[in-house]
Chains A and B, each alone.
Chain A
Amino acid sequence: MEAQCINTLETLAPCLVRGGMDPGLAQFLSIAAGVLIVSGLPLLLVIIFIWVERKIAARVQDRLGPNRVGPFGILQNIADAVKLIIKEDITPAGADRLIYTAAPIVAMLSVILIWSVVPFTPIHIGADLDIGVVYVVAIGSVGTLAIMMAGWSSNNKYALLGAFRVVAALVSYEVPMIVALLIPLMLAGTMSMQGIVEAQQGMWFVISAPIAALIFYISNMAETGRAPFDLIEAESELVAGYNIEYSGMKFGLFMASEFLHSFTVNLLFAVIFLGGWSGPFVHQVPVLGVVYLGIKSIIPYIFTIVFRSTVPRVRIDQMMAFNWKFLVPVSIVNVLLVAFVLKVVQELGLSPSPENVHDFAANLPQTAILLVTNLLMGLVTINILRNAGRRERIADQNRALRGAERDSAIVPTAIS
């Protein structure tokens, strides 16, 4: 009995009650303990994420990266944090002091709160809300607000312009992200994060809905302001963007929230498309789920970092056009197509029944049909893009040719 009391958090409240505590207080204490773990974990992990990101980016660019403080430079970020804390903090004249201070806190808060609904193992989750996915999207949109607050309150033209531009881009990329999320919801039949992972016991959604997964991944990259969509800090145009006036720990919070957000969206990607904690023996040894989830979210995270350090930045008009003229139409067509095929599959009785949804073989027919549908759609999309690109190139060539003819017709007269 005693050992059980120490081991798991679920039994904390009953244990305290047995020890003679008021049930309400015991309940509150167990919730508070859970909250401290779930909210404290990301703050500790972010130190490691920043190190990983700096190390990988350095390797891609043929540098060493941090290597002085601690083994492999792993303590570099603690040194940096200490430096940021003892830095003088400058609030520019004419800034809106309260909003200026609240903005970095809101930025961090919007990321931390996502961790409350992430299922770490079959039994460990902060709060298994039945609207988990909408909660995540809603909290994510609060982060946009933080950028707006920072940009507006700084009383700086670069900051305001940067914030407006970024907010316009961020809200736009929310649309394909939400559309892409509809497909896992259709397949899982629930919005609870735990329910979505449960529904992937037989088959990961990345296999039955690869296009939705790709759109979700790309729009998340834009949401977190990672290259090629890092207009959030286009230093050649806006110096530093919305956080230009921030210094000291307030800037540190913005930076930390950005790095943490970048990992958090990959964590969500792992939960929604890569089966979350599911893996062999996870129901016998729940702690294994954390390991599986960690591995599954680190792999797309490393891809994000490598993308960030290898691709050039796009222009704002290209970024908006890519969203509204490519991602949104493709995601809408994808939803329609998958919805239709899924309904046909369900009517034909090929989809797994609720009893054997955890069975790999029972999922195979539906997954195969959906996968083929997605691949066909991908092929058609690529062909349409290719044809459009060819038309554009030919039009460009024709224009250049006409220009050359005109020039050659003009040149002799110009000389004479």
Chain B
Amino acid sequence: MLEFNPQLIVFFLFAILTLGGALGVVTNRNLIHGAIYLIISLFGGAGLFVLLSAPFLAAVQVLVYIGAIAILIIFAVMLTRSMTSMRELYNRQWWASAVAAVLLFGMLVLGVIGPVWVTNEETSQPVSDLVATTQDLGVALVDGNQYVLPFEIASLLLTAAMIGAIVIAREDD
């Protein structure tokens, strides 16, 4: 059974922040308010990362998503004309996105939560053995036998993303 402890309270607090923020994003007519709700939701996600003993990812979540992507979203909102007050909350494709959302949720449940839930008994090692430090991450990222290829591809992908963005966003030559 679930044990009542401070960590559980904090978990529910962050879960409410994440879900409530997400709900605010999709139900708000003002895009800037939507961006603020998104920030709240992302902050809740950062808190969940901390609870999962992944503080580096939590800090990255705040730095990249709140510090950069949220700012970018606000810039993007101001690029569009009169988008600060949308009149329609739904458009004609709402049912398609609803189906996609349900399918994605089902996939997450089956693919991620399911196996963890089922095999919970077997993998109940002490947590301290499983926790990797940020230093381990650094070693693994550039180790020839581990993730060096994805590491370089990530850099290439980001470079390509930037070049693509510049090509599209530039007004003239």
Contacts and interface: CB of A to CB of B under 8 A. Distances in A.
Interface stretch (B55-63, B97-105, B107-115, B120-128): B55-63
A130 B134 contact: yes
Contacts of B32: 96, 99, 152
Interface in A140-160: 141-142, 144-145, 148-149, 152
A139 B67 CA distance: 9
B63 A138 contact: yes
Nearest to A129: B55
B63 A134 contact: yes
A135 B59 CA distance: 6
Nearest to A24: B6
Interface string B86-104: 0000000000000000000
Given A24-B6, A148-B74, A164-B78, A138 B68 contact: no
Contact of A142 (B55, B67, B74, B78): B67
Given A131-B56, A131-B134, A148 B71 contact: yes
Nearest to A153: B32
A129 B32 CA distance: 33
Please indicate which of the listed interface residues B33, B56, B59 has the most CB atoms of chain A within 10 Å of its own CB.
B59
A191 B70 CA distance: 25
A171 interface: yes
Contacts of A164: 75, 78
A137 interface: yes
A144 B59 CA distance: 16
Contacts of A305: none
B66 A141 contact: yes
Interface magnitude class on chain A: 20 to 34
B36 interface: yes
Interface in A143-188: 144-145, 148-149, 152, 164, 167, 171, 174
A190 B136 CA distance: 12
A99 to B, nearest CB: 7
A190 B62 CA distance: 20
B56 A134 contact: yes
A379 B35 CA distance: 46
A184 to B, nearest CB: 15
A189 B135 CA distance: 8
Contacts of A190: 135
B159 interface: no
Interface of A: 24, 96, 99, 129-131, 134-135, 137-139, 141-142, 144-145, 148-149, 152, 164, 167, 171, 174, 189-191
28 contacts: A99-B36, A129-B55, A130-B55, A130-B133, A130-B134, A131-B55, A131-B134, A134-B56, A134-B59, A137-B63, A138-B59, A138-B67, A139-B62, A141-B62, A141-B66, A141-B67, A142-B66, A144-B67, A144-B71, A145-B39, A145-B66, A145-B67, A145-B70, A152-B32, A152-B74, A164-B75, A164-B78, A189-B135
